[in-house]
Structure 1
Amino acid sequence: MKFYNQKVVCRVRAERQKGLSIKILGKKFKISHSTISRWVRDMPSKFKAFNSARKHEKNLKLNYSNLIDKFLIDKDTAKILASLLYWCEGSKYPSSNFLAFSNSDHLLVKTFIGLLRKGFKLDESKLRAHLQLHTTHDIRAMTKFWGALLGIKENQFHKPTITVPTNRMKRRDYKGTCTIKYFDVKLLLNITGIFESFGKKKWRGGRVA
């Protein structure tokens, strides 16, 4: 993913307020249309096509949202879902002998820790969190944010890693990257066994056999 300086984002948004289309903005700043669209998505537009596309996008998201409302997650389901998420974003055995799940999407990290707690009996004292932040972040505020979100005490956070963002780096509402650690090799192996078994399932007609 390519990152952009805050000044570039502000310039694009300022030009958008003048009525320039996403296509024109993309050509002017030599930035992809998808990136421009993401930066100005919250802004009102006079372009009917853009407004129509935004409405269509919202409707598409809502089409299957009722599935989640009806989706009941029991303990076994939570184990499977947590394991699949860990398969995607977690450190693997034997390179690691403890759980380490890392992502900058705070909702994804919250979902993982929620499923992990529901599916497995955790010893909360074995939980740790580590943040990777920029020099532009308020360390105290970000620690409080992640701690409240994940239900982890501030004294269970390791000293954060602080990096200097380059002039090309820009992610709106970036709250740092959080790594959840749980020091229990047995649980790591349990989770590994679940996602490995799931991966070996044969798919027939779109269903797991």
Structure 2
Amino acid sequence: MNIKKIYTKEIKKDARELRLQGWSYKKIGNKIRVPKSTLSTWLKDTPLPLKFKERLYTKQIKMMTKGEFSQKDRRNKEITSIIKKAKSEIKKPIGLDAYRFFGAALYWAEGSKNKMFQMTNSDPYLVLFWIKWVEKIFKITPHKLTVRLNIYPQQSEKNIKKFWSDLTKIPVANFGKSYVKPLSTNYKKNNLYYGTLRIEVPKGTDYRHRVYGWTQAILKDIAPQVKLIEKRWQKLKNVAKPINLN
């Protein structure tokens, strides 16, 4: 059986005075030992003064912002810890086979699939790694490579060439005619500050075939399954080519 607690007029008066002083229901309840639900009934006709409303609102915003930043900070620390642990899992120096396979997989994903032995990318880390990989695996120095830039009209072709030459040690004289892309609405979203660099190994067809052979070796175990499923779904390739009416 629930027995309703009876409060004195003095307690109700204290609650009203504290409210007029800007106290929150929670703080008042802790002070005079009265549930928040009871206080809301008592004080429904005793609104919080405007100056205290503004102060309370500001405090709530600060608490919300602090919580948001603390959560973001906590997540950033977690990510930093994950990356640090992952770095320790890579033992150096990296063996030649692992190094060769990594470069081959990179070319398989990002390199040219036509007759040329080319890599096109805008990431300075990836570009420099691949150039060093070509030099270490095939003994081809940067001075033998040829390159072309893809840039936007408002970018400085001269300075971007100097940047890539400084990074890769490929002479500026090895840069061919740049391709200047027309402006587009999503230019700002791309943030390709250094343009896009296409690196070509002259007379590199045989090197490309060797890389292809290495990737086949890496994928050997899954090749039968891929071929089986592709054969089963051969009908997906039996699609009429679109007709160009222009």
TM-score (norm 2): 0.57
**Do residues 155 (structure 1) and 161 (structure 2) align?**
no
**Do residues 84 (structure 1) and 102 (structure 2) align?**
no
Report Cα offsets for 1:101-154 as digits up to 9, x if no partner.
Answer: 111211111111111211122165541111111112111111111112112111
Unaligned 5+ segments in structure 1 are 1-19, 21-44, 204-209
Report Cα offsets for 1:62-112 as digits up to 9, x if no partner.
Answer: 1211234x32234444332221111111112xx32x211111211111111
**Do residues 131 (structure 1) and 145 (structure 2) align?**
no
Map of 2:137 onto structure 1: 119
**How big is the alpha-carbon RMSD for the aligned residues of Structure 1 and Structure 2?**
2.5
Map of 2:49 onto structure 1: none
2:135·2:141 contact (CA, 8 Å) conserved in 1? no
Call closer, same or farther: CA 1:77–1:120 in 2, change over 3 Å: farther
> Relative to structure 2, which stretch is displaced further, 184-193 or 115-124?
115-124
The higher relative CO (CA closer than 8 Å, separation ≥ 6) is in: 1
Map of 1:49 onto structure 2: 71
| 3-state DSSP of counterpart to 1:166 | coil
Aligned sequence identity (%) = 25
| 3-state DSSP of counterpart to 2:190 | coil
Q: Distance in 1 between matches of 2:218 and 2:183?
A: 39
**Bigger Rg, which one:** 2
> Relative to structure 2, which stretch is displaced further, 46-55 or 143-152?
46-55
**Do residues 182 (structure 1) and 204 (structure 2) align?**
no
Unaligned 5+ segments in structure 2 are 1-60, 62-66, 224-246
Map of 1:26 onto structure 2: none
**Do residues 107 (structure 1) and 125 (structure 2) align?**
yes
Q: Distance in 2 between matches of 1:76 and 1:59?
A: 29
2:147·2:198 contact (CA, 8 Å) conserved in 1? yes
2:149·2:196 contact (CA, 8 Å) conserved in 1? yes
Call closer, same or farther: CA 1:123–1:174 in 2, change over 3 Å: closer
TM-score (norm 1): 0.66
Map of 2:216 onto structure 1: 196
In the alignment, residue 103 of structure 1 is paired with which amino acid? N
Per residue, is there more helix in 1 or in 2?
A: 2
